[in-house]
């Protein structure tokens, strides 16, 4: 579905929310016996969840990326809600926060190492000034390279679609290409490049992919004359503006005046002998003829260096505990969801290289709101629960389930006291079919019956796939042989894009899922004994994780950014910087594709096709959890 059509759907969804809420609040399917809350209490619940969702998915939180001040604001908001519900800090240090380190997750430029020099064969040297003349983009490992300069127009390869290719008949192998932002004939309704709208070829990720395919060693990027009509408006991109789009390609952004100076001394020679001595002149000719004007910048070489430092951050799980009462009070049910997202989309984005706020309303403000609302409801009851309830909002899920991994390795309540875990990840997009998938419901004998009874008054279309997995925080508990359930309403066109906003969420659908979840937890509390774990031999494969922090690349594949010591990835010989292209004969495009294949093939030996530098390798990897996990 195109973004244009989906935006129309978003407006329709907003207009229908009020009517849907009225229908939900007045639904005859929820009799007083099924749901003893008064109409006023139900309305208050809707208001609370709506306010939570609006706050957590607001632009002010800039996508809730761990290690940022905005993520601390999100954590404090969750703490405030739990305190308002009557919870006391459960951690030994008197807080609701369980801190854990995330190693080398934030990249920063080491400015004192940055050098960009242009030299001419006749001896002229131009040393550019950082921030005044140029800015490097932060890449995975920094860079240091030198080579000849080749101008490649807009850096577009649209040979098959539009018979336009800036790399046609030009050798850039091992060289550094200079390319313009955007695309030819901008604003012209007659342009083959989607008329007055920007086509996909204007995207940075697409340009970098084309340069890589052509064999370029690096990119020098220049604003076009529409973006920068004057020298004052010729602004350089922030060091991290293009994120994963340039993660493995040495990439610097320079001022137009720099390239104009080179063209003045080494003009581009056209077929008729005329000379192009400025970027404006080149753009004008390309617009008029729609013919590439690529050529070497004769006599010029560049040397560019930038070192990148990987800094550790501290992330926080937010935890609240409601103690139980009675003979089973020391048994624990964990109710969880992750509250982090991907910030400005530097990793994991599916938005085609757009460096914008990814608010993550569905993923996973929706699940966090569910956990907080369940915590409120159980705390407000007159009677304590029969078992202990531990409510956790995990951090760094998007970085590889790191918050959940930390909790199961250093649990607040011993895992031998934890009888099951219920997880909520992306529950905000229930469609007209009222379909809700509950993964891993087969991991305990009692789960399916409990879910069906909880759903009787609601009639949701519960999908309980056997062998289903879903790569989310519950997987860490399943690795510890704790049965789990995972509520999920499915992937949509907004997943991991800037369009995953508050106004796309089906709040009435969320409220129904929260109601069913509350009754599901009641069913778990009523069990006379802990749930009976169904073994892998009865149809449920053991869940495993690769043990690596992964980042989706816009031009295909999934890069390995970190590897945990002693993990499957480490023991298999995978390395930081490897790019995973295929797992078990299936191509992978985003991080979840890798996780899905790893979990689906647990216990087996499968082939991983990876790119390491310029080489493509195939590794046979046994997907069996190491004994120390």
Q: Are strands 143-151 and 176-180 parallel, antiparallel or unpaired?
A: parallel
- pLDDT tens per residue across span 580-617: 999 998 888 778 788 878 877 888 899 999 988 778 89
- pLDDT tens per residue across span 322-352: 999 999 999 999 999 999 999 988 677 877 6
Distance CA 221, CA 232 (A): 17
Distance CA 176, CA 296 (A): 10
Residue 11 has pLDDT above 50, yes or no: no
Q: Are strands 435-439 and 484-488 parallel, antiparallel or unpaired?
A: antiparallel
Q: Which helix (H) or strand (E) holds 263?
A: helix 256-265
Residue 573, Cβ density class (10 Å: 0-12 exposed, 13-18 middle, ≥19 buried):
exposed
Residue 562 has pLDDT above 90, yes or no: no
Look-up of token digits 């932002």:
181
Task: Using pLDDT thresholds of 50, 70 and 90, give the confidence band for residue 240.
Answer: confident
Of 24-28, 175-179, 301-305, 389-393, minimum mean pLDDT range: 24-28
Per domain, the residue ranges of the chain are: 3-95+323-538, 107-308, 548-622
CB 435 within 8 A of CB 490: yes
Task: Using pLDDT thresholds of 50, 70 and 90, give the confidence band for residue 551.
Answer: confident
Whats the size of the chain, residue-wise?
Answer: 629
Residue 10 has pLDDT above 60, yes or no: no
Looking at residue 470, its pLDDT comes to 65
Span 7-24, mean pLDDT? 37
Of 132-146, 185-199, 467-481, minimum mean pLDDT range: 467-481
Residue 29 has pLDDT above 70, yes or no: no
Of the candidates 549, 550, 552, the residue with the CA atom closest to the CA atom of residue 565 = 549
Q: Would you tell me how many other CB atoms lie within 10 Å of the CB of residue 253?
A: 22
More confident residue, 142 or 553: 142
Distance CA 509, CA 517 (A): 12
Task: Using pLDDT thresholds of 50, 70 and 90, give the confidence band for residue 106.
Answer: low
Residue 500 has pLDDT above 60, yes or no: yes
CB 393 within 8 A of CB 407: no
Given this structure, which CATH class describes domain 548-622? mainly beta
CB 457 within 8 A of CB 34: yes
Looking at residue 14, its pLDDT comes to 36
Superfamily of segment(s) 3-95+323-538: Zn peptidases (3.40.630.10)
Q: What is the dihedral of CA 607, 608, 612, 616, to 10 degrees?
A: 50
Q: Would you tell me how many other CB atoms lie within 10 Å of the CB of residue 49?
A: 21
CATH 3.50.30.30 fits 107-308, yes or no: yes
Of the candidates 20, 28, 19, the residue with the CA atom closest to the CA atom of residue 457 = 28
pTM greater than 0.85 (yes/no): no
Looking at residue 469, its pLDDT comes to 63
Distance CA 516, CA 522 (A): 10
Span 91-118, mean pLDDT? 90
Structure-block tokens of residue 397: 């899920």
Residue 2 has pLDDT above 70, yes or no: no
- CA triplet 605, 606, 607: central angle to 5 degrees? 135
- pLDDT tens per residue across span 367-410: 999 999 999 999 999 999 999 999 999 999 998 899 999 999 99
Structure-block tokens of residue 559: 């890069």
Looking at residue 31, its pLDDT comes to 35
Task: Using pLDDT thresholds of 50, 70 and 90, give the confidence band for residue 25.
Answer: low
CB 522 within 8 A of CB 514: no
DSSP type of residue 610: E
Q: Which helix (H) or strand (E) holds 126?
A: strand 125-127
Q: Which helix (H) or strand (E) holds 332?
A: strand 332-338
CB 360 within 8 A of CB 500: yes
Span 117-144, mean pLDDT? 94
- pLDDT tens per residue across span 421-466: 999 999 999 999 999 999 999 999 999 999 999 999 999 999 998 7
More confident residue, 294 or 24: 294
Q: Are strands 418-424 and 461-463 parallel, antiparallel or unpaired?
A: unpaired
3-state secondary structure of 368: helix
More confident residue, 105 or 377: 377
Q: Is the peptide bond before 364 cis (omega within 30 degrees of 0)?
A: yes
More confident residue, 560 or 20: 560
More confident residue, 374 or 204: 374
């Amino acid at each position: 579905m195109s973004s244009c059509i989906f935006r129309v759907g978003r407006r329709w969804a907003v207009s229908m929310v009020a009517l849907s809420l009225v229908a939900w609040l007045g639904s005859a399917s929820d009799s007083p016996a099924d749901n003893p809350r008064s109409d006023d209490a139900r309305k208050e619940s809707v208001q609370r969840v709506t306010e939570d969702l609006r706050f957590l998915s607001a632009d002010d939180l800039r996508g809730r990326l761990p290690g940022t001040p905005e993520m601390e604001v999100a954590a404090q908001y969750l703490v405030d809600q739990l305190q308002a519900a009557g919870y006391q800090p459960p951690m030994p240090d008197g807080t609701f926060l369980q801190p854990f380190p995330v190693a080398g997750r934030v990249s920063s430029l080491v400015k004192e190492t940055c050098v960009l020099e242009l030299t001419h064969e006749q001896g002229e040297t131009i040393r550019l000034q950082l921030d005044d003349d140029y800015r490097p983009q932060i890449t995975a490992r920094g860079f240091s390279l030198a080579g000849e300069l080749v101008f490649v127009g807009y850096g577009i390869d649209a040979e098959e679609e539009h018979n336009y290719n800036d790399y046609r008949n030009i050798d850039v192998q091992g060289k550094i290409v200079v390319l313009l932002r955007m695309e030819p004939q901008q604003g012209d309704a007659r342009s083959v490049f989607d008329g007055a709208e920007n086509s996909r070829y204007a995207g940075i990720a697409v340009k970098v992919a084309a340069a890589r395919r052509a064999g370029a060693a690096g990119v020098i990027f220049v604003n076009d004359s529409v973006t920068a009509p004057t020298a004052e408006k010729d602004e350089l991109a922030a060091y991290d503006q293009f994120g994963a789009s340039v993660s493995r390609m040495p990439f610097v952004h320079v001022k137009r005046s720099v390239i104009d100076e080179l063209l003045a001394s080494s003009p581009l020679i056209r077929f008729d002998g005329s000379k192009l001595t400025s970027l404006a002149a080149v753009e004008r000719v390309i617009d008029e003829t729609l013919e590439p004007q690529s050529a070497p910048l004769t006599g010029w070489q560049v040397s560019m260096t930038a070192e990148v430092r990987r800094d550790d951050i501290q992330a926080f799980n937010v935890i609240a505990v409601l103690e139980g009462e009675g003979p089973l009070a020391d048994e624990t049910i964990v109710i969880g969801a992750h509250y982090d997202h991907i910030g400005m989309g530097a990793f994991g984005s599916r938005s085609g290289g757009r460096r914008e706020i990814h608010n993550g309303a569905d993923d996973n403000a929706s699940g966090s709101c569910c956990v907080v609302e369940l915590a409120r409801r159980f705390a407000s009851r007159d009677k304590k629960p029969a078992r202990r309830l531990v409510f956790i909002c995990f951090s760094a899920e998007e970085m590889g389930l790191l918050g959940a991994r930390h909790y199961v390795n250093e649990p607040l309540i011993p895992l031998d006291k934890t009888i099951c875990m219920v997880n909520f990840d992306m529950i905000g997009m229930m469609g007209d079919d009222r379909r809700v998938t509950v993964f891993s419901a087969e991991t305990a004998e009692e789960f399916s019956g409990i879910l069906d009874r909880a759903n009787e008054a609601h009639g949701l279309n519960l999908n309980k796939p056997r062998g289903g997995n879903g790569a989310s925080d519950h997987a860490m508990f399943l690795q510890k042989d704790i049965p789990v359930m995972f509520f999920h309403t499915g992937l949509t066109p907004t997943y991991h894009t800037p369009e995953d906003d508050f106004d796309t969420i089906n709040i009435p659908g969320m409220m129904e899922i929260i109601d069913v979840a509350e009754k599901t937890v009641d069913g778990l509390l009523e069990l006379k004994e802990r749930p009976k774990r169904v073994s892998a031999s009865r149809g449920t494969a053991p869940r495993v994780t690769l043990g690596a922090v992964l980042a989706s690349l816009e031009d295909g594949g999934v890069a390995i950014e970190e590897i945990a010591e002693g993990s499957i990835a480490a023991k298999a010989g995978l390395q930081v910087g490897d790019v995973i292209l295929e797992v078990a004969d299936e191509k992978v495009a985003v991080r979840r594709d890798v996780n899905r294949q790893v979990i689906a093939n647990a216990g087996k030996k499968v082939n991983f096709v990876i790119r390491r530098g310029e080489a493509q390798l195939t590794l046979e990897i046994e997907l069996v959890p190491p004994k120390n996990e």
